[in-house]
Amino acid sequence: MAQSLGRLFTLLSFRKTHLSRQCVQVLSGTTLKRTLMMRAVPILSPKPRDFSLPNPSWGEEMMRLYNYYSSQSEVETEGEEEQGSQWTRLPSYNRSLKYAIGGVYLSKIIQSKARLFTRNIKHPGAGFEYVVFFTKDKQRCVCIFQAGHLLEGPPGHVHGGAIATIIDTVTGTHASLLCAPVVTANLNINYRSPIPLGSTVLIESTLDEQEGKKTFISCKITSTDGSKLHTEATALFVSVSVSHLLRG
């Protein structure tokens, strides 16, 4: 037994030493090798980009509302209660496999450039421009949404499928805050009035009920001043296990 352990220790020591020598050889190799290694670093550990931050395509109303909700998220002075933290902005990064074991590293290697469906149009302002805020108790979410020209359905207005997509995104995000991971089980939408392309609207998501693995959420899309109701929806989300997500 002792001899077997000794051989195993010797083998591991050899592999460790051999690997160290290989690393030294690469690091002290040609300029080409060093250049290739430097270019590989951003791929293995890309800096995530937050897609919910302002960009030049945001209109005046989008920026006004963003600043308003951001101001409601400001933290008071140290040692005092967070009187102004009614809302918290939710960052929007590239998709990650964060629920899997070692998922953060898998995401960096395999999905370093993968985006959520609503973030896959690279040209700013052409598709879904939005930012989500949620309350401290996570009972409510609000999304500021600006629709780009690629979302056109009826002439000059947003496609109904694009509206369903952003509703599913916002309510699904809300449900995930409460009991991630979840999948959409039911989405019921009533379209009341069309949304003009390029306009900014508010999407409000409210928790109705939680029953075991089920989360019921209601949602409405209105003009920014609340005077016009564009869309109403209800959604049901079901909590699932990590293995369920990995099986697909």
H or E element: which one contains 162? Answer: helix 160-179
Give residue-wise pLDDT tens across range 104-124. 555 555 555 667 889 988 899
* Longest CA pairwise span in the chain (Å): 82
Give residue-wise pLDDT tens across range 220-238. 999 999 999 999 999 999 9
Specify the pLDDT at position 41.
37
Measured distance CA(171)–CA(206) in Å, rounded = 8
Q: Does the pTM of the predicted model rise above 0.75?
A: no
Measured distance CA(73)–CA(65) in Å, rounded = 13
Contacts of 100 (CB under 8 A, 6+ apart): 106, 242, 246
Reduce the DSSP state of residue 90 to 3 states and report it. Answer: strand
In contact, 143 and 166? CB cutoff 8 Å? yes
The active-site residue, picked from 50, 137, 168, 208, is 168
Tell me if residue 168 is catalytic.
Answer: yes
> What values do phi and psi take at 212, rounded to 5?
65, -125
